[in-house]
Structure 1
Amino acid sequence: MGNKNHSLSYTICSNTYALLPYNDGRRTWTRVIEDRSEFLVEESTYKTVTSSCSFYRGSMESATLYAQKAVRVKHKPPIIIGEYYGNPLIFFPTHSPKNKDAVWFNFDAVDLVESDDSGRGGSIVYLSNGETVHLDVSPIALRNQHSFAGSLRRYFKRAQEMHKHQMTYVAKRTYPPRTQYPLD
Structure 2
Amino acid sequence: MGRKNYQPLSYTICSNTYALLPYVDGHRNWTRVIEDRSEFVVEESVYKIVSSSCTFYRGSLESATLYSQKAIRVKHKPPVIIGEYYGNPLIFFPTHSPKNRDSVWLNFDAVELIDSDDSGKGTLIHLSNGAIVPLDVSPIALRNQHSFAGSLRRFFKNAQQVHKHQMVYLTKRRYPPRKQHPMD
TM-score, normalised with respect to structure 1 = 0.92
Describe the superposition over 1:54-90 as per-residue Cα deviations: whole angstroms up to 9, x where unpaired.
0000000100000001111000000000011100000
Q: Which residue matches 2:92? A: 91
List alignment gaps of at least 5 residues for structure 1.
Answer: 179-184
Q: How far apart, CA to CA, are the structure 1 residues paired with 2:4 and 2:122?
A: 26
TM-score, normalised with respect to structure 2 = 0.92
SS in 1 for 2:89: strand
Q: 1:25 offset after TM fit, Å?
A: 1.5
Share of identical aligned residues, percent?
A: 75
SS in 2 for 1:7: coil
CA contact (8 A) 2:121 2:139 kept: no
The Cα RMSD (Å) is 1.6
SS in 2 for 1:57: coil
- 1:170 paired with 2:162, answer no
SS in 1 for 2:152: helix
**Runs of 4+, deviation exceeding 3 Å:** 174-178
SS in 2 for 1:96: coil
Q: How far apart, CA to CA, are the structure 2 residues paired with 1:8 and 1:121?
A: 35
Q: Which residue matches 2:182? A: none
Please show how residues 1-184 of structure 1 align to structure 2 within 5 Å: 3-117=4-118, 119=119, 121-173=121-173, 174-175=175-176
List alignment gaps of at least 5 residues for structure 2.
Answer: 180-184
Q: 1:121 offset after TM fit, Å?
A: 3.5
